[in-house]
């Protein structure tokens, strides 16, 4: 069989649809797409296509299907679980040219965006209107809303405002058979099955998302942001439990540990105390009425849990700097290490101290430094394992350490991903989280949309193992 | 073919599983199950089975499948859309004996319940713990959590706290092939496809729900409940828009119109002014800090929209009486009319006044009295059409008037159901709300779980029309 990258009929067909400059074939061009934020698995796609319209996506999908070549979507490539790696090769459909905000309707509180719109652009566009787009992953300056929809992204404010699925009203998708379907829409009330909710988090295994209707949220009237400084992560963890137990729903509760603090302080000079065991960013928002009482109560609880100090952000610029330190923490890691692997495990909130102690043991056992910065209010932990990917032996230790950490999350009653998705990284865990029947139901669910598994194969669901691969008959739409 | 009700082998098999007293066969016994809260379509099931355990459900499902007899689940039969009618006959699996609260875990804020647990029982059981189960349909004194899961029920507090899907962490289901699957669970974070979210709202078309993990919510520290009295529904509608526009998220915003007020006042003697055009029940909740400021702001907005009076509930007993009036409004309708049809349409909030005027015109056109009591904050309208079902001609006028009302909801950018589901009542609208491709995606989604459409056929999805019925090959699990 002709190798895909030299399949002239396919290349000609694709160029006819998206133009010469929309098809990347040289190794230099394609190398950019060999991996995403997860650097432990790499594979250069055979062809990269950059469509600008839905019609072009339909054309590209049809050509790939006709040629029997797998394809997969890609946004900004910020996945931390290898969700956009072209496992086994194929045609990568990069959606960065579909980057228009198509409509903003403030009266009905929704926007319509193309998948390649960068998350932060929408909130920037809304500046001054009193509205914003709530999901705010730390990578929001780079990641796309299409990618957020694919992985059901969270962020620091998930604790109060929910994950992406809570803010997506509708999705338009090009299915692998070339048909375009629309689930939900601007005024979506759930009639029929909630296919919008199902599509959010599909990790590109159903088809190519070409449009999304998203909910706009009203800006909070008042915000109070505080930094709590603790001697130990245990104290910080107990403060979190007590804040939640007091019936307060903070807008955010984020923890950074000692090692993370070093890196962030060096990068951004916020003035973090370098001898602290952990800091908490604690934010309350809501109506002006009563907000100071809530902030005071949070402060009181932090102090009751041995906080050395609790500082309120003096003004908006100090608040923004504090959030910059948190959101760009991953960037600061570059000062500590050439590579990192950011894990994404979840444990019940009450198990955070135990999990942090476990990570400390794992760090010693594998001789791998681990920094922690995470959504403590949700129990969603992000241990960052520092290493050098040029060192194969060290890299293997990172993989092993990651697996032990994720296994411990399961043992403690949690899960192996809170918001980054399964991607390629965590497929091996699916058998441990689900029964064969549960996985079969998921495979059949995929087959509804992607019966031949030609769209983003090898993602999310294990392909073999206990259950054989399932493929619907090609006649499924014959009626 | 042997009629189902005299199929001795099937009857013997069912009795073997659930015992003699668990199988109802006499017309007298079965007549109880001929309809639910939607009285316009009736069909007596051939057999009614009352299982007490999951194992019995598996056995019943297996026997039905082997006999080629359709079956369908039923909770308390409070559906207002005919969701539990045995269209075409078959075996009704009534889940009222599976009524145990299996576990309450306050630390991790979840409960595990059987499907026949009545909604209010859970909150009653939690009394004194500081927690409650948030979804509170008006029928909560009778409806079951299994039924709430099937229809994704809402309620007055949906405005702030969301519908059932926001409070369901996991679902256990017996599929039509007899396999038991579990989606989600106590600490569910969404890993893999969100099949829990998909299962909520399936209207019994996937299988028989035998267990649910539900989220427990902390009681609000403070509640302020107010009654706003308005001369016109227009004024009340504008007050709603202004409250939402002020950035307030009330716990509830419920409207009752003039006709509804008459019935409710006669039944419960709350002291509603009988000459008012409409009243609003306006509730704010949250932390004690600031709650009075929020309540004052709501009151101010109501007065700015010509409220004749705004009264705060003086104490908890007055508050409970006010809610009793609202939640038992449907019961009070019995004083006005022998039968009623409660519709469930949604319009954008801004279209409420227009929609109420339309209903007034429809009332005149068809000479059918229409009372209104509804979740105004959500734009979820519940016009109640009063009639006498013994009068066939009048009944037809109710059907026609309902269709006009729902069509107008669609025209105004809304939907034909906010929380009651499609059932049998609204299937004809599905073709108007969805394209053929969208409906095919839904049919294939059903086929994942219920490939032969033997479980609750003729519900939710149109069976023919533009798209032919789809049936997966029987070998789908052969691998």
Residue A413 has pLDDT above 90, yes or no: no
| CB proximity B180 to A under 8 Å | yes
In a domain, residue B118? The reply is yes
Residue A475 has pLDDT above 60, yes or no: no
In a domain, residue B425? The reply is no
Same domain for B300 and B347, yes or no, is no
Same domain for A213 and A241, yes or no, is no
Residues B41-97 have pLDDT tens digits of 999 999 999 999 999 999 999 999 999 999 999 999 999 999 999 999 999 999 999
Report how far residue B165's alpha carbon sits from residue B202's, in angstroms, rounded to the nearest whole number.
11
Mean pLDDT in residue range A393-414: 94
Same domain for B292 and B384, yes or no, is no
Same domain for A159 and A260, yes or no, is no
Same domain for B81 and B138, yes or no, is no
Same domain for B130 and B187, yes or no, is yes
| Location of structure tokens 């499907």 | B115
Report how far residue B284's alpha carbon sits from residue A389's, in angstroms, rounded to the nearest whole number.
55
Residue B383's domain comprises 337-411
Least confident of A118-127, A432-441, B6-15: A432-441
**Residues A448, B448: C-beta atoms closer than 8 Å:** yes
Same domain for A261 and A283, yes or no, is yes
Establish how many alpha carbons lie within 13 A of residue B478's alpha carbon, considering only the half-sphere containing its beta carbon: 7
Same domain for A239 and A342, yes or no, is no
Report how far residue A417's alpha carbon sits from residue A41's, in angstroms, rounded to the nearest whole number.
18
In a domain, residue B418? The reply is no
Residues A107-134 have pLDDT tens digits of 888 999 999 999 999 999 999 999 999 9
Mean pLDDT in residue range A407-427: 91
Same domain for B152 and B181, yes or no, is yes
pLDDT at B32: 94
Residues B304-329 have pLDDT tens digits of 999 999 999 999 999 999 999 998 88
Domain with B14 in it: what CATH number? 3.30.43.10
Task: Establish, for the pair of chains A and B, how many residue pairs have beta carbons separated by less than 8 Å.
Answer: 190
| Chain B: residue whose CA lies nearest to A183 | B438
Residue B257 has pLDDT above 90, yes or no: yes
Which pLDDT band holds residue B469 (cuts at 50, 70, 90)? very low
Same domain for B235 and B327, yes or no, is yes
pLDDT at A115: 98
pLDDT at A368: 96
CB contacts, 8 Å: B434 with chain A = 192
**Residues B194, A198: C-beta atoms closer than 8 Å:** yes
| Chain B: residue whose CA lies nearest to A469 | B479
**Structure tokens, A155:** 């962020």
CB contacts, 8 Å: A197 with chain B = 165, 194, 197-198
| CB proximity B470 to A under 8 Å | yes
Residue B187 has pLDDT above 80, yes or no: no
Mean pLDDT in residue range A3-26: 93
In a domain, residue A238? The reply is yes
CB contacts, 8 Å: A445 with chain B = 193, 195, 198, 445, 448
In a domain, residue A49? The reply is yes
Report how far residue B103's alpha carbon sits from residue B114's, in angstroms, rounded to the nearest whole number.
10
Q: Is B103 exposed, middle or buried (0-12, 13-18, 19+ CB in 10 A)?
A: exposed
Report how far residue A206's alpha carbon sits from residue A213's, in angstroms, rounded to the nearest whole number.
18
Q: Give the residue from A411, A431, A457 where a domain finishes.
A: A411
Report how far residue B206's alpha carbon sits from residue B198's, in angstroms, rounded to the nearest whole number.
10
**Distant-in-sequence, close-in-space partners of A117: CB < 8 Å, separation ≥ 6:** A99, A100, A101, A144, A145, A146
Of A198, A221, A440, which has the smallest distance from its Cβ to B197's Cβ? A198
pLDDT at B479: 28
The closest alpha carbon to A201, from A479, A459, A412, belongs to A459
pLDDT at B191: 82
Residue B235 has pLDDT above 60, yes or no: yes
**Residues B190, A152: C-beta atoms closer than 8 Å:** yes
**Structure tokens, B171:** 């679902």
| CB proximity B247 to A under 8 Å | yes
**Residues A181, B467: C-beta atoms closer than 8 Å:** no
pLDDT at A188: 61
Domain with B241 in it: what CATH number? 3.30.70.2190
Return the top range by mean pLDDT from A301-305, A408-412, B351-355, B424-428: A301-305
CB contacts, 8 Å: B190 with chain A = 152, 163, 165, 201
**Which runs of E-coded beta strand occur in A123-271?**
131-132, 168-174, 180-184, 208-215, 217-218, 222-230, 252-257
Residue A23 has pLDDT above 80, yes or no: yes
B202 in Cβ contact with B233 (< 8 Å)? no
pLDDT at A472: 39
Report how far residue A20's alpha carbon sits from residue A43's, in angstroms, rounded to the nearest whole number.
23
A 339-368: CB under 8 A from B? 346, 348, 350
Spacing of C-alpha B168 from chain mean position: 15
Domain with B345 in it: what CATH number? 3.30.70.2740
Establish how many alpha carbons lie within 13 A of residue B334's alpha carbon, considering only the half-sphere containing its beta carbon: 5
The closest alpha carbon to B350, from B235, B240, B233, B232, belongs to B240
Residues B206-219 have pLDDT tens digits of 999 999 999 999 99
Which pLDDT band holds residue B465 (cuts at 50, 70, 90)? very low
**Residues paired with A171 in a beta bridge:** A183, A212
The conformation of residue A192, written as its DSSP 8-state character, comes to S
**Residues A441, B434: C-beta atoms closer than 8 Å:** no
**Residues A181, B448: C-beta atoms closer than 8 Å:** no
Residues B360-382 have pLDDT tens digits of 999 999 999 999 999 988 889 99
Q: What angle do CA B321, B324, B327 make, to 5 degrees?
A: 155
The complex's ipTM? 0.84
Quote the mean pLDDT of chain A.
91
Strands A71-74 and A91-94: parallel
Query: What backbone torsions phi and psi does residue A266 show, to the nearest 5 degrees?
Result: -65, -40
pLDDT at A411: 93
Report how far residue B431's alpha carbon sits from residue B461's, in angstroms, rounded to the nearest whole number.
9
How far is the alpha carbon of A114 from chain B, nearest alpha carbon, in Å?
A: 20
The closest alpha carbon to A287, from B248, B347, B56, B120, belongs to B248
Q: Give the residue from A380, A396, A411 where a domain finishes.
A: A411
In a domain, residue A19? The reply is yes
pLDDT at B200: 96
Same domain for A318 and A348, yes or no, is no
| Location of structure tokens 């015109």 | B361
| CB proximity B464 to A under 8 Å | no
pLDDT at A53: 98
| CB proximity B193 to A under 8 Å | yes
A 287-316: CB under 8 A from B? 287, 289-291, 293-294, 297
* Three-class DSSP category at A95: coil
Q: What angle do CA B248, A111, B420 make, to 5 degrees?
A: 65
A 134-163: CB under 8 A from B? 152, 163
In a domain, residue A424? The reply is no
| Location of structure tokens 């499902």 | B61
| Location of structure tokens 């259950």 | A467
A71 in Cβ contact with A77 (< 8 Å)? no
**Residues B479, A473: C-beta atoms closer than 8 Å:** no
Report how far residue B454's alpha carbon sits from residue B177's, in angstroms, rounded to the nearest whole number.
10
Of A192, A297, A444, which has the smallest distance from its Cβ to B442's Cβ? A192
pLDDT at A476: 32
Q: Is A274 exposed, middle or buried (0-12, 13-18, 19+ CB in 10 A)?
A: exposed
Number of domains chain A is built from: 4
Of A182, A290, A441, which has the smallest distance from its Cβ to B438's Cβ? A182
pLDDT at B188: 61
In a domain, residue A141? The reply is yes
Q: What is the 3-state secondary structure (H, E, C) of chain B?
A: CCCHHHCHHHHHHHHHHHCHHHEECCHHHHHCCCCCCCCCCCCCCCEEECCCCHHHHHHHHHHHHHHCCCEEEECCCCCCCCCCCCCCCCEEEECCCCCCEEEEECCCCEEEECCCCEHHHHHHHCCCCCEECCCCCCCCCCCEHHHHHHHCCCCCCHHHHCCHHHHEEEEEEECCCCCEEEEECCCCCCCCCCHHHHHCCCCCCCCEEEEEEEECEECCCEEEEEEEEECCHHHHHHHHHHHHHCCCCCCEEEEEEHHHHHHHHHHHCCCCCCCCCEEEEEEEEECCCCHHHHHHHHHHHHHHCCCCEEEECCCHHHHHHHHHHHHCHHHHHHHCCCEEEECCEECCHHHHHHHHHHHHHHHHHHCCCEEEEEEHHHCEECEEEEECCCCHHHHHHHHHHHHHHHHHHHHCCCECCCCCCCCCCCHHHHHHHCCHHHHHHHHHHHHHHCCCCCECCCCCCCCCCCCCCCCCCHHHHCC
B 366-395: CB under 8 A from A? 380
Least confident of A64-68, A437-441, A450-454, B275-279: A437-441
The conformation of residue A448, written as its DSSP 8-state character, comes to H
Residues A141-197 have pLDDT tens digits of 999 999 999 999 999 998 889 899 999 999 999 999 999 999 998 876 668 899 999
Percent of chain B with pLDDT over 70: 96
Residue A91 has pLDDT above 60, yes or no: yes
Report how far residue A165's alpha carbon sits from residue A156's, in angstroms, rounded to the nearest whole number.
15
Which pLDDT band holds residue A4 (cuts at 50, 70, 90)? confident
Of B192, B286, B473, which has the smallest distance from its Cβ to A430's Cβ? B192
Q: What angle do CA B103, B108, B112 make, to 5 degrees?
A: 25
Q: What is the CA radius of gyration of chain B?
A: 23
Residues A328-384 have pLDDT tens digits of 888 888 888 999 999 999 998 888 989 999 999 999 999 999 999 999 888 899 999
Q: Give the residue from B25, B59, B94 where a domain finishes.
A: B94
CB contacts, 8 Å: B193 with chain A = 198, 201-202, 442, 445-446, 460
Of B197, B438, B476, which has the smallest distance from its Cβ to A181's Cβ? B438
How far is the alpha carbon of B479 from chain A, nearest alpha carbon, in Å?
A: 6
**Residues B441, A189: C-beta atoms closer than 8 Å:** no
Spacing of C-alpha B455 from chain mean position: 20
Which pLDDT band holds residue B247 (cuts at 50, 70, 90)? confident
Residues B125-164 have pLDDT tens digits of 999 999 999 999 999 999 999 999 999 999 999 888 989 9
Mean pLDDT in residue range B462-475: 44
Same domain for B214 and B132, yes or no, is yes
The conformation of residue A219, written as its DSSP 8-state character, comes to P
């Amino acid at each position: 069989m002709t190798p895909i990258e030299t399949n002239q009929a396919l290349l000609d067909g694709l160029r006819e649809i998206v133009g010469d400059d929309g098809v990347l074939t040289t190794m230099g061009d394609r190398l950019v797409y060999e991996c995403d934020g997860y650097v432990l698995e790499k594979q250069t796609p055979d062809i990269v296509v950059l469509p600008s319209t839905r019609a072009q996506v339909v054309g590209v999908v049809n050509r790939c299907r006709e040629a029997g070549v797998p394809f997969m979507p890609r946004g900004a490539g910020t996945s931390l679980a290898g969700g956009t790696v072209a496992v086994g090769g194929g045609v990568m459909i990069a959606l960065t040219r579909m980057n228009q905000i198509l409509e903003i309707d403030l009266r009905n509180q929704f926007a319509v965006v193309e998948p390649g719109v960068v998350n932060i652009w929408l909130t920037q566009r809304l500046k001054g209107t009193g509205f914003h787009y709530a999901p705010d992953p730390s990578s929001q300056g780079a990641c796309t809303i299409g990618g957020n929809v694919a992985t059901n992204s969270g962020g620091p404010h998930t604790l109060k405002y929910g994950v992406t699925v809570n803010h997506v009203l509708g999705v338009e998708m090009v299915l692998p058979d070339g048909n375009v379907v629309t689930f939900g829409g601007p005024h979506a009330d759930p009639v029929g099955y909630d296919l919008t909710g199902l599509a959010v988090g599909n990790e590109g295994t159903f088809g190519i998302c070409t449009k999304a209707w998203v909910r706009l949220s009203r800006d909070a009237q008042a915000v109070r942001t505080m930094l709590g400084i603790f001697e130990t992560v245990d104290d910080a963890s107990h403060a979190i439990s007590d804040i939640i137990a007091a019936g307060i729903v903070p807008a955010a509760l984020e923890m950074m540990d000692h090692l993370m603090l070093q890196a962030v302080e060096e990068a951004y000079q916020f003035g973090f105390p370098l001898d602290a065991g952990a800091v908490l960013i604690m934010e309350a928002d809501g109506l002006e009425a009563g907000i100071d009482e809530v902030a005071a109560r949070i402060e009181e609880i932090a102090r009751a849990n041995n906080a050395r100090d609790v500082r309120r952000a003096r003004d908006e610029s100090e608040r923004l700097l504090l959030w910059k330190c948190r959101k760009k923490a991953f960037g600061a890691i570059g000062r500590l290490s050439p590579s990192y692997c950011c894990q994404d495990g979840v444990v019940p909130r009450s198990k955070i101290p135990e999990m942090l102690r476990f990570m400390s043991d794992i760090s010693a056992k594998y001789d791998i430094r681990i920094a922690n910065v995470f959504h403590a209010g949700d129990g969603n932990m992000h241990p960052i394992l520092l290493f050098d990917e040029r060192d194969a032996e060290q890299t293997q230790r990172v993989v092993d350490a990651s697996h032990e950490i994720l296994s411990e999350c399961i043992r403690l009653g949690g899960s192996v991903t809170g918001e980054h998705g399964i991607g390629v990284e965590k497929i091996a865990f699916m058998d441990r989280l689900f029964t064969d029947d549960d996985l079969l139901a998921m495979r059949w669910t995929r087959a509804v949309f992607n019966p031949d598994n030609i769209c983003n194969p090898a993602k999310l669901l294990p392909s073999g193992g206990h259950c054989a691969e399932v493929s619907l008959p090609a006649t499924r739409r014959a009626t």
